[in-house]
Copies of this chain bind each other. A is one copy, B any other.
Amino acid sequence: MSKYCIGIDIGGTNTDIGLVSDEGHVIGRRRLATQGFTEARAYISAMENSVRELMQEHNADIGSIGIGAPNSNFYEGCIDKNTANLPIKERIPLKAAMEERFGVPAVVDNDANAAAYGEMIFGGARGMRHIITITLGTGIGSGIIVDGKLVHGHTGTAGELGHSIVMPGGRLCGCGRKGCIETYASARGICQNYIEAAAQAGKPLTESDVQTLTCQQVGEAALQGDPIALKAYDTTAYWLGIALANAANFSAPQAIFLMGGPTRAGEALLKPLRKYFEENLLYIYKDKISVHLSQLNGNDAAILGAAALGRIES
């Protein structure tokens, strides 16, 4: 039997389970509909069955199980109770449950942290020991790796760079505070940048256009050279450049990697971001920290991140 590991990505819609080789190939996969489960016990059983099927199908032995999940605590190895977007409202003790069932180490962490390990083991950060990864999406997640290990902090919940305040008194954030980088560079933040850029260009959006605007539309327009969309991404890059320059002061990483839907705009984001990042970097770090897009295949990234998490932390 060959030795593989399991990566599980828990999202509000789907739970994706992958059998992953040492080289970072997803050999087999299963998908559960997360919303179909209202009890932890049935959910865990379904996960167990999926993993056993994958192992049998590929005649594979596994060395570890990594699970990326929202609202999870690395130290406790569980998903907290009353997690938004999950129909299961009780605490889900995934680490203990999986270790008992499979007799191998299991690790639970949030998906942004798992993504950082995925990039380090299977992506563009191979061989690096100090990186920061930023996941742009509905919110902004981050994973900070210092000397090859994720920073979890005293509480187990470190690495919330999306909620760094870059503009005191700025845009209102979902967290209740003002001026978090998330309000300027998440999908919603980018839409807001577009709405403001359009108004400034003398082409304000209609109420209904504002309601239906998506970040994907802004990204596609930017790829086609639309000046308002490019301006929206320039604004995104400006604030993100400051936030990343501040992050550099903290851990002086070798590289920063960006992932998530809004990064599909590619150079429309990356080119101005590199400029603003360098401009705002403290002189001792200038030209020493590179900024990249993730080099993981978007479809596999979450499973690979979870698999890497299990491999490194087990």
Name A's B-contacting residues (CB within 8 A): 128-130, 144, 146-147, 149, 151-161, 163-168, 175-177, 242, 245-247, 249-254, 280, 282-285, 288-289
Contact of A246 among B151, B158, B164, B280 (CB under 8 A): B164
What distance in Å separates the Cβ of A291 from its nearest Cβ neighbour in chain B?
A: 14
Contact (Cβ within 8 A) B249 A161: yes
Cα separation A283 to B157 with both chains bound (whole Å): 12
Cα separation A95 to B245 with both chains bound (whole Å): 31
Contacts of A288 in B (CB 8 A): 154-155
**With known contacts A163-B282, A166-B168, A280-B177, A151–B249 Cβ distance under 8 A:** no
Given contacts A146-B151, A165-B166, A176-B283, 8 further A-B contacts (CB under 8 A): A130-B153, A144-B251, A151-B252, A152-B252, A155-B252, A158-B251, A175-B283, A246-B246
**With known contacts A153-B130, A165-B245, A158–B250 Cβ distance under 8 A:** yes
Contacts of A147 in B (CB 8 A): 149, 152
Closest to A178 in B: B280
Give the copy number. 2
A-B contact pairs, 21 of them (CB 8 A): A144-B251, A146-B153, A147-B149, A147-B152, A151-B250, A153-B252, A153-B253, A154-B254, A154-B288, A155-B252, A157-B284, A158-B251, A159-B250, A160-B249, A164-B246, A165-B242, A165-B245, A166-B168, A168-B242, A177-B280, A177-B282
Scoring A156, A245, A246, A285 by chain B CB atoms within 10 A of each residue's CB, the highest score goes to A246
Contact of A284 among B155, B177, B251, B280 (CB under 8 A): B155
What distance in Å separates the Cβ of A267 from its nearest Cβ neighbour in chain B?
A: 24
Cα separation A246 to B179 with both chains bound (whole Å): 11
Contacts of A151 in B (CB 8 A): 146, 250-252
Cα separation A246 to B254 with both chains bound (whole Å): 21
Cα separation A165 to B163 with both chains bound (whole Å): 15
Contact (Cβ within 8 A) B252 A250: no
Contact of A251 among B129, B153, B167, B168 (CB under 8 A): B153
Contact (Cβ within 8 A) B160 A282: yes
Cα separation A106 to B180 with both chains bound (whole Å): 42
Contact of A158 among B158, B164, B167, B252 (CB under 8 A): B252
Top 6 nearest A-B pairs by Cβ distance?
A153-B252, A158-B252, A154-B254, A130-B154, A160-B249, A163-B282
What distance in Å separates the Cβ of A180 from its nearest Cβ neighbour in chain B?
A: 8
Contacts of A283 in B (CB 8 A): 175-176
Closest to A152 in B: B252
Cα separation A157 to B281 with both chains bound (whole Å): 13
Cα separation A179 to B128 with both chains bound (whole Å): 31
